[in-house]
Amino acid sequence: MTNFIDAVATAVADEQRPQGASSRTTARAVTKAATRALVESNGLQFVHIRNWNVTDYGWNTTTEVDPKGGMTIAYKILRSGGDIVELATALCHSKDHYDKVMGKFYAAQNFSDGKTIRIKLPESTRYGQHLRRIFGAELV
C-alpha cells in the first residue's frame, strides 16, 4: 500500500497552480490528486450515503437530500468470487455540509492507514447496494 503522505507529496509535486486560481481551488485539486493516487494504489470503490429530509404535509410528502451530514465508504473486494469486502468509512457531522471530494479523501486515507474492517457479503455485482443496506440507507 502507498503511504498516504507519499501520495499527497506526489500529488502536490504533480499539480501546477493555474494562473489566477485561488488557494482553495488548488487545495481541492491537490486533494483530488491525492485521492486518485490512493484509489489507484489500493483499487478502491466508493459508496456515498446521505441523510434524507422527509416532510409530510398531509396532502403531499416531499423527500429531499439533506445537505448536511453523510458517510462515505471506501471498499475493496478481496476474493475473486467477491464475498469478502474490506472497507473504511469517513463520517460527516450532521452540522457540517457534506462534500463528496472530502469524503472520498478521508475514506481513502483511512483505508490506506489500515483503519478497515472486513465483512462477508452475498456474492453479487451490487456491492454498493449491500453496503447501503448494512449502513441504513435505503433511499440512495
Question: What is residue 139's predicted lDDT score, i.e. its pLDDT?
Answer: 41
Find where cell 478497515 sits. 116
Question: What is residue 6's predicted lDDT score, i.e. its pLDDT?
Answer: 57
Q: Report CA 70 to chain centroid distance, whole Å.
A: 10
Q: How many CA atoms lie within 13 A of 1 on its CB side?
A: 17
Residue 139, CA distances (Å) to 7, 9, 130 in order: 34, 38, 13
Question: What is residue 110's predicted lDDT score, i.e. its pLDDT?
Answer: 92
Across the chain, the runs of DSSP E, i.e. the strands, are: 45-56, 61-77, 84-97, 117-120
Question: What is residue 11's predicted lDDT score, i.e. its pLDDT?
Answer: 52
Give bridge partners of residue 65 from the DSSP assignment.
52
User: Distance from first CA to last CA of the chain, Å, rounded?
Assistant: 31
Could you read off the pLDDT tens digit of each residue along the chain, which spans 140 residues? 445 555 555 555 455 555 555 566 677 788 888 888 888 888 888 888 887 777 777 777 777 777 888 889 998 888 766 678 889 999 888 888 888 888 899 999 999 899 999 988 776 667 777 777 777 654 43
* 65: phi then psi, degrees, rounded to nearest 5: -75, 130
